[in-house]
Amino acid sequence: MVEQVAQMVVHGEAWTIKDLFVLPNEYVYWSIQIVLYPYMTGLVAGAFVLSSLYHVFNVEKLKEIARYALVFSFALLPVAMMPLMLHLMQPFRGINVLMTPHFTSAISAFGIVFMTYAFIVAAEIWFVYRKFIVESIYRLTEKQDCTRLERLLLPIYKVISLGAMDISDKALNSDHKAIKFLAALGIPVACFLHGYAGFIFGSVKANALWMTPLMPVIFICSAVVSGIALCIVSYYLFMEIRKWAAKRGKNWLLPDALAQGGTAIPVEQLRSIQEHEVKITSKYLLIFMTAALTLEILDMIFRGYTAVKSWDALRMVIYEHDFMKIFVYQYGIGNFLPFLMLLLPGLTTRRAVIASSLVLFGVFMMRWNVVIGGQAFSLTFAGFMEYSMPIIPHDIETFKEGLGGMLSVIVTPFIIFYFLNMIFPAFMTDNESH
Amino acid sequence: MKRRDFLKNTAVFVAGASVSVAALDFIDPKELLAANPELKWGFLVDTYKCVGCGFCVKACKTESDIPFEANVTRTWVERYVIKRDGDVVMDCPKGARDGYTTKLLDENRSGMVEVPDEEIAQAFFVPKLCNHCTTPACVQVCPVGATYQTADGVVLVDWTWCIGCGYCIMGCPYGVRFFHPVERVADKCTFCYHRISKGGNTACAQACPFGARQIGNLKDPNDPVAQAIMTQRVGILRDEYGTKPNVYYIGLNKEVR
């Protein structure tokens, strides 16, 4: 009997609290994983745009962080897909989206857009690191006493070099051209990847909060904001760890050093790079934040001014139920506070990093308020629903759609990055420029 | 094999294969079975006749194997109580599976509410089910084509192909879709397609003791449903979404959401 009853729990019932008149089939079907999906794609797109600022627009000052942003963007890429897979009721059929895409659906294009983007990022990384790969092959082949890790790396490099061993000046020049081309191509594709995530929501005509043509543009701007902010924060953190580890010779915290055999960068140099990059990048953060904020507020004003049928319900959600989440967490702590922190003169690295962390939080709250907030009211406009995120899971579903699933998605890119950093050292410095 | 021969054989093979592929077009089962230009299913709900007994909901759950205890349902009955001051109180506990047997209205977290008789201006029940829209939002948004429209106008879900993304549930303006608690795919009312396509009645219409529910062929001028829609003043739900529903209501109030 107990088993039977447990089985009868409908998807969504465990975390949905209904109030007033809600239709019997209505639940918060799209929960934390769908909050994370646009958040993660946004981070991917934003990190890529940051790296492109250097490659395409020749912003020399961003050189070091650009290389890091590119590799980190690649580490984030598989994680953009993870929330979707975790969210599907039939994850093993996820491949159907690629096998039988139904092209009137916005989601059907996911595979195509995502793959195109993945190939562009992979190709760009390949060109950026080609010289390094070839040099590593020569270095490791000549080396007599290889460590176990180095013996593992050599075949990996041999495979990913694709047999292109030419590192003459002419070949490297054409590499640079290719990088520039791919980075330029990548910007519209990255924007498309994320604008398209916005379209998935914006095109749901049944949802009064989501349906706006501004949605894709708002998503793109906030994506760039969050991507840059994450790069600043994680770059700072990784640099801190590296400084700490370099001083004490804890190589396991320096995966690239572990793999490549010792970093030559002294602690002092690390510090100056860190300060310089973080401060410069935060200037770009400010520009994109202004754009994102303008659009979001425009959307809000427009809804209030036109006040169509759904406005009564939306107003209840925006000004009463979700007031804290929208005006305090998202706009207050997540937008205006970091905005001021970045604008005030005498910007220090630490202040820039704290501001960026707040921005990250703000963008996360924005995703939350869009995805969960969009389901906070009934289709009848006469009832409300609340999502109470499962903290302690009691089955696989409450794990996936709760805190556990959220943490797994957030932690994974860092694990991927750790190993990726062994193959493509993201913090490598060279004296070339292009 | 010479290159010339190879090319020749390839050309012959491709030509032959394309002929047989073209033949598949002739035996498209959709055209054979359902493409009856004389048939388009529609549904008529007479809200004046509904007493909120919930027999239709029970019958539907039994017929379509939706677990009885699960808080989802393919059809449901809503209760509207309109007060003299214009306020509307609505409820739909468990989709009205057990019928409305008390004056208490279930307002979920806000608890039970009772409206005193003297404050009530009017009260009525509204049965709801999938509208089998002519331009269904759910079919448009399904990323894999697992939900589709038959040639005779019924919207169905292929349980073996649905990936369970929930986009159709989000896309439906009527909230008729849900995740099947056992099959773990999107599910909804099928107009009892397995019954009506064999000449039967839908389970809900059959179970209704008052004839508040009726299914019929909208293209047949002699069909009672088609006639009622033609000659009486009927309404549809939420036409602002442009989905062109095929469930018609007699006595639809403006308060009905």
Domains of chain B: 41-133+189-250 (3.30.70.20)
Test mutation, A5, A13, A21, A32, chain B, max B CBs within 10 A: A21
d(Cα B216, Cα A356) in Å, to the nearest integer?
61
Tell me what percent of the residues of chain A surpass a pLDDT of 70.
94
pLDDT at A434: 41
Backbone angles phi, psi at A294, to 5 degrees: -55, -50
A383 near B CB under 8 A:
yes
Contact A20 B71 (CB under 8 A): no
pTM over 0.90? The answer is no
Do residue B165 and residue A107 have CB atoms under 8 angstroms apart? Answer: yes
pLDDT one-digit tens code per residue, B38-91: 899 999 999 999 999 999 999 999 999 999 999 999 999 999 999 999 999 999
Mean pLDDT of A261-286: 72
Mean pLDDT, to the nearest integer, of B193-213?
A: 95
Cβ-Cβ contacts under 8 Å, B189 against chain A: none
Give the chain B residue whose CA is nearest to the CA of A380.
Answer: B257
| Closest chain B C-alpha to A110 CA, distance in angstroms | 9
Q: Chain A within 8 Å of B112 (Cβ-Cβ)?
A: no
Burial class (CB in 10 A: 0-12, 13-18, 19+), A55: buried
pLDDT of residue B29: 57
pLDDT of amino acid B60: 96
Q: Tokens 């998807």 appear where?
A: A11
Residue A88, chain B, CB below 8 Å: the answer is yes
Confidence of residue A379 (pLDDT cuts 50, 70, 90): very high
Contact A263, A253 (CB under 8 A): no
Tokens 């089962």: give the residue.
B29
Is the pLDDT reported for residue A433 higher than 60? no
Across the interface, of A9, A19, A88, the residue whose CB is closest to B165 is A88
Q: Which of A7, A20, A23 sits opposite B181 (nearest CB)?
A: A7
Ordered by where they begin, the domains of chain A are 2-423 (1.20.1630.10)
Range ranked top by mean pLDDT from A43-47, A186-190, B210-214: B210-214
Token reading at B238: 């939420």
Measure in Å the smallest separation between the Cα of A304 and chain B Cα atoms.
20
Shortest CB distance from B166 goes to which of A17, A29, A110?
A29
Query: Which chain A residues have a beta carbon less than 8 Å from that of B128?
Result: 23
- A 10 A CB-CB count for A365 gives 23
pLDDT at residue B25, as a whole number: 61
Rg (CA), chain B: 23
CB contact residues (below 8 A), chain A span 21-60, against chain B: 21-27, 29-30
pLDDT band at B26 (very low <50, low <70, confident <90, very high): low
Question: Which residues are B79's β-sheet partners?
Answer: B91, B125
CA distance A207 to B54: 29
Looking at the partner chain, which of A5, A206, A381 has a beta carbon nearest the beta carbon of B170? A206
Cross-chain residue pair B144–A379, CB shorter than 8 Å: no
A197 CB neighbour count, 10 Å cutoff: 28
Contact between B181 and A382 using a beta-carbon 8 Å cutoff: no
Which residues of chain B make contact with A205, given a CB cutoff of 8 A? Answer: 137, 171, 173, 241-242
Per the CB < 8 Å rule, is A23 touching B73?
no
Chain B residues with CB inside 8 Å of A378's CB?
175
- Amino acid residing at A273: I
How big is the A-B interface in CB pairs under 8 Å? 158
Per-residue confidence (pLDDT) for residue B28, from 0 to 100: 59
Q: What is the CA radius of gyration of chain A?
A: 23
Crossing angle for the helix pair A110-142 and A148-160, to the nearest 10 degrees: 120
Contacts A102 to B, Cβ<8 Å: 142-145
Burial A236-248 (b: 16+ CB within 10 A, else e): bebbeebbebbee
